[in-house]
Structure 1
Amino acid sequence: MATPIFKPSISHSHRLFDSLFFHTNLPNQVSIPKKRPSLSSASSELNPVRPEVYFCVGTHIIPHPKKVEKGGEDAFFVSSYNGGVIAVADGVSGWAEQNVNPALFSQELMANASSLVGDEEVDYDPRILLRKAHATTSSIGSATVIVAMLERNGILKIANVGDCGLRVIRKGQIIFGTSPQDHYFDCPYQLSSEVVGQTYLDATVSSVELMEGDTIVMGSDGLFDNVFDNEIVSMMARYVDVAEAAKALANLAHNHSTDSNFDSPYSLEARTRGFDVPWWKKIVGMKLTGGKLDDITVVVGQVVSS
């Protein structure tokens, strides 16, 4: 079996496709109001109906510091369809070694997904959305990807391939989180232009019932490699505005990524997988530490009712 393309620590960011696209590094927030069903007061008392819910979304991206001028390799979109759709794709930087722009695949994949969210065949299934978006992507390259689709009844459907992630926070606690998929350390599952890559069938599919007040934090591995879950919870508790929350989380991840002394989730995972400093450094108490320089994409969604 062909070896999957290695995904090094250098990655990028950028770009939204959809009527609700936002540009890199601008504080972004959008609310998507929905109407309640029309009911008489009598019927409402006898048969209480749960209010419809939707996302109020804030986004922020910080590119890898050495590749800002080259654009980004991450891509994402926010859609108002139904209760809201959010997605992040992280282009695999290893393609640059083959003179391929790693951004093109992730950008086209997100563009295709954003245009297909209302497709009848998709039927609000994130895995089918990945299948159709992947099938219509013609660019060379590969990307990790996560898609979350919120139904108006509060059911959040998630499909992810690779190490982009999502957390659901309720009343100061994480009640759900996705797990990364990888072949080996720093080589995640990825949708690819090559037949040896993964497909929508390899996606991890999840479903979570949300309620008003829940917070969704989605991001590329640039976020989750540099920020612990308890830090995410603490940061979300400090902000009401979703755009400010997304910006604060991205800044925290960036600061950690440039700190060689910070014992990050990435360095902790590396040591767990057998990567560490030479033995003679261990003798004097040294260990592998530091954040991971990368593109950092953060999408924060607040669940609100009509």
Structure 2
Amino acid sequence: MAVPIFRASVPKSHPLIHSLFSTSFTDETLKKRRMLVSCAPSATKPVREELSFCVGTHLIPHPSKVEKGGEDAFFVSTYNGGVIAVADGVSGWAEQKVDPSLFPKELMAYASSFVEDVEVNDNPQVLIGKAHAATSSIGSATVIVAMLERNGILKIANVGDCGLRVIREGKVYFSTSPQEHYFDCPFQLSSQAFGQTYRDAVVSSVELVEGDTIVMGSDGLFDNVFDHEIVSNLTGYKDVAEAAKALANLASNHSLDAKFDSPYIIEARARGFEAPFWKKILGMKLTGGKPDDITVVVGQVVSL
């Protein structure tokens, strides 16, 4: 199934924003829009033609946000070796009567439209900055963008706690690290002056080889699934779309399991958070997953 390349500048009120980035899988038509898979290179043959992505995606909204499709957004492009990106809206804006999903959706729509700009020059940090400057919605979001060059170099820029893993030969070969002000308060791009900018992004690069698997996601994935679980679950799937769906479902199941010792809750205990008083009396510790929007992008590195 070919990945549509979203390159047109789309204003926040445009219906494409909702249909491409926020609607959950409710029927086969929407599933085809959201579960994007492509192994085909672009028609124009580049000077150096070596590696590209075969990509599958899956999004599961927070249980209370299913109707509006959640507050995560993402895009996939076949430009160059491939571009993948995820943005996670900050839900705290809802307390100010602001829809937290609008900012990340618009941010990703503009990022997808600027991918080929000469000013961007295949630099994910610059792409984030250009998209942020164009975004007019009120709100904020964490974001990660990865751009693959045909020579196998993957360039990554992230602000906040969306993450990326490179899996090679059954092990995590590379991992991004989250940025936060304090526990559960990540760095974020914002419509307000107090937020971070593209200059605050952590910029990294890694040389990929054929057969590597890229796993990108919002914190809904990494707060609920351990790295070793990601690796073990990938081994059972050859199809990237099915792999993305499986990881998203695993994260969703963990997030709703009150007895699961999730990565999020282990970190919370390490930071001094404790179980409610009645649980402490019964000798119970703080446990459980973290209900959240869950976005998973799985990319298989293939030779052209």
TM range (shorter): 0.7 to 0.9
Normalized against structure 2, the TM-score is what?
Answer: 0.87
Give the partner amino acid of 1:80.
T
CA contact 1:32–1:84 (8 Å) conserved in 2: no
Show the counterpart of 1:18.
Answer: 6
Q: Of residues 30, 44, 48 in structure 1, which corresponds to 2:38?
A: 30
SS of residue paired to 1:113: helix
**Residue 24 of structure 1: how far off its partner (Å):** 3.7
Equivalent residues of 2:58, 2:297 under 8 A apart: yes
Matched, 1:139 2:137: yes
Secondary structure of the corresponding residue to residue 31 of structure 1 = coil
Q: Which runs of 5+ in 2 are unaligned?
A: 9-19, 26-30
Aligned to 1:160: 158
Pairs within 5 Å for 1:275-286: 275-278=273-276, 281-282=279-280, 284-286=282-284
How much does 1:282 deviate? 4.2
1:199-222 per-residue CA deviation (whole Å, 9 max, x = no partner) reads: 011100000000100000000000
Q: Of 161, 179, 182, which residue of structure 2 is paired with 1:181?
A: 179
Unaligned stretches of 5+ residues in structure 1: 1-15, 39-49
- 1:226 aligned residue: 224
* 1:75 corresponds to: 73
Secondary structure of the residue aligned to 1:29 is coil
Deviation at 1:273, TM superposition (A): 0.8
**Contact 1:213 1:304 (8 Å CA) reproduced:** yes
- Residue 92 of structure 1 corresponds to 90
2:13 is aligned to: none
Q: CA deviation at 1:66?
A: 1.3
Q: Deviations over 1:235-263 (max 9, x none)?
A: 11110000000000000000000000000
Q: 1:66-86 CA deviation, whole Å, 9 max, x = no partner? A: 111123211000011100000
TM-score (normalizing by structure 1):
0.87
> Is the contact made by 2:260 and 2:287 (CA closer than 8 Å) also made in structure 1?
yes
Decide whether the 8 Å contact of 1:90 with 1:144 is kept in 2.
yes
Identity of counterpart residues, as a percentage? 73
Distance in 2 (CA, whole Å) between partners of 1:166 and 1:91 is 17
> Deviations 1:157-189 (Å, cap 9, x if unpaired)?
000000000000001000100111111111100
Where do 1:1-306 residues align within 5 Å? 18=6, 24-25=24-25, 26=31, 27-33=35-41, 52-278=50-276, 281-282=279-280, 284-306=282-304
What is the CA distance between 1:36 and its match in structure 2?
Answer: 7.0
How far the C-alpha of 1:153 sits from its partner, in A, is 0.2
Tell which structure's C-alpha radius of gyration is larger: 1
How far apart, in 1, do the equivalents of 2:133 and 2:58 lie?
Answer: 28
Question: Which digits, 9 at most, give the CA deviation of each residue in 1:80-111, with x for residues without a partner?
Answer: 11000000000111111111111110001001
User: 1:17 touches 1:76 (CA, 8 Å); kept in 2?
Assistant: no
In 2, Cα distance between equivalents of 1:36 and 1:109? 29
1:31 shift after superposition: 1.7
C-alpha contact 1:82 1:150 (8 A) present in aligned 2: yes
Residue identity opposite 1:89 in structure 2: A
Taking a change above 3 Å as real, the CA distance of residues 36 and 52 of structure 1, as seen in their structure-2 partners, is farther
Distance 1:258 1:73 in 2: 18
SS at match of 2:38: strand
Residue identity opposite 2:51 in structure 1: V
Offset, 1:294:
0.4
Distance (Å, rounded) in 2 between the aligned partners of 1:113 and 1:36: 24
User: Do 1:220 and 1:296's aligned partners in 2 also have CA atoms closer than 8 Å?
Assistant: yes
C-alpha distance in 2 between matches for 1:17 and 1:135: 22
